[in-house]
Structure 1
Amino acid sequence: MRASSQQSRKQAPVINFACPTAQSGLTALIARLNAAVAEVEKWGSIEDRLSIDYNRTKPDRPKVYGGRTGPSRIIREGHDDVVMEAYDWFYSTREAIERDRATRLAEASTDDTRAEVEQCFAGRLADWDRQERACKRAVPKALREAKRHMGRAHKAWSVAELAIVNYQPQTMTEVAEWLAYAGRGEMRGVFFSPDEGDLKHIMRTAAAVLAEHGVN
């Protein structure tokens, strides 16, 4: 399933109905699921295309200057020394800046030193946030819109799957159709794939309905 529901998943029944009858309440739920899947496929292809175009021109990821290392020399007996030139280094994540800030504050022994650390890292964090905002603004509006539609479609898919898992069949025919739908194997066009917990929920519900109709 697209989202963990913790309520139910499946086991294939002997019955092999292709789909519910036209009057079954399950029909509407399956139609809702299929519509959500169609939206995921539609916006997924649009997002992929727009992402490929954007990746060709997107700005570099944020990086914040952290300092400059001093030159160093590695002495190897019987070989020439290896000289490491000085170089600038940069933070590649905001979390790295925050970790370094915490370490430096823990090492500070005076209020003045702590104030200097806070001022230094406040500037670094502000620089990171400025670059990150610029990167977000650089994302084309069409791509942002496609991502929003994808998020909604995936949520609708999850909601539809959960509704099918929690369906309450009213007749023995609906029980058979529900079990047949939940028990289909992996195949093209099958978008409902309940996990073990969902199947157990479905089986318990089906057993309760059958018991109500006198099937033991």
Structure 2
Amino acid sequence: MRTTTTPARKQAPVINFACPSTQTGLTALIARLSAAVAEVERWAPIEDRLSSEFRQNAGPAPKVKGGVMKASKLIREGEPDFDMPAADWFFHSRDKILENRAKALAEAETEDARSAIVERHAALLADWDAQEAAYNSKKPRGLAHAKRMVSKAHRAWTAAEVAIVEYEPKTLTEAYELLAYAGMDGKRVFFTPGEDDLKTIMRNAAAALALHGMN
């Protein structure tokens, strides 16, 4: 009786990207990305909690009255005219006050006008600084540090992603590992290259295959 056997399908080796065996080349970049993700996961909840606490307790954000918009009439074809009453307008950032001062000074035609502009905007800036100081005094302790740490971790995450996308494999093994890493899927996958990034990865992997040959 003749028997036949079906060859077992060859399984690709499993790569443990969470715990790279060596900290050089591609594995070092993957380790950097994993470390950055861990920092984001550590600090983001802290920053979110403290920011929520700040929003609840701080009250209205600073704003400085810049002037009064004159009453006007909005004329719309085929519809009744709409009267727009006079209304206060406000600066919502210090930079906007500085921009307004620079513009006003550029348009001023006399020294007296420039002096009045400087004096007026000095008062506006003083008002803004006082409001901002009172507002910031209500920030929970540690919020500024948490924001810096989250921002730093996100920058490291982005830098690691870019480095992985642009990495040129040095061996056939690295070429395989790069393609496998780029193709990972699941809820805990934090490297998500776009279409152009994937093309770059494939080009770099293909160049390594061409250089080192395939057996």
TM-score by length of structure 2 reads 0.71
Distance (Å, rounded) in 1 between the aligned partners of 2:68 and 2:213: 80
Are the counterparts in 2 of residues 20 and 177 from structure 1 also a CA contact under 8 Å? no
Match in the other structure for 1:45: 45
Q: 1:19 aligns with which of 10, 15, 22?
A: 15
Distance (Å, rounded) in 1 between the aligned partners of 2:29 and 2:67: 59
Moved over 6 A (4+): none
Match in the other structure for 2:101: 101
Which aligned pairs between 1:204-215 and structure 2 lie closer than 5 A? 204-215=203-214
- Structure 2 gaps of 5+ residues are 1-10, 74-82
Distance (Å, rounded) in 2 between the aligned partners of 1:73 and 1:147: 44
Are the counterparts in 2 of residues 67 and 90 from structure 1 also a CA contact under 8 Å? yes
Which aligned pairs between 1:1-216 and structure 2 lie closer than 5 A? 18-19=14-15, 23=21, 25=24, 26-67=26-67, 89-102=89-102, 104-105=104-105, 108-185=108-185, 187-215=186-214
Kindly state the Cα deviation for residue 200 of structure 1 after the two structures are TM-superposed.
2.8
Kindly state the Cα deviation for residue 29 of structure 1 after the two structures are TM-superposed.
3.0
RMSD (Å), alpha carbons: 3.3
Structure with the greater relative contact order (CA < 8 A, sep ≥ 6): 1 or 2? 1
One-letter amino acid matched to 1:61: A
Are the counterparts in 2 of residues 64 and 128 from structure 1 also a CA contact under 8 Å? yes
Distance (Å, rounded) in 2 between the aligned partners of 1:103 and 1:171: 60
Are the counterparts in 2 of residues 175 and 206 from structure 1 also a CA contact under 8 Å? yes
Are the counterparts in 2 of residues 66 and 91 from structure 1 also a CA contact under 8 Å? yes
Change (3 A) 1:90 1:208: closer
Q: How many residues align?
A: 192
Query: Identity percentage over the alignment?
Result: 49
Change (3 A) 1:209 1:103: closer
Kindly state the Cα deviation for residue 188 of structure 1 after the two structures are TM-superposed.
0.4
Are the counterparts in 2 of residues 59 and 138 from structure 1 also a CA contact under 8 Å? no
What secondary structure does 1:66 align onto? strand
Are the counterparts in 1 of residues 57 and 138 from structure 2 also a CA contact under 8 Å? no
Are the counterparts in 2 of residues 54 and 140 from structure 1 also a CA contact under 8 Å? yes
One-letter amino acid matched to 1:139: K
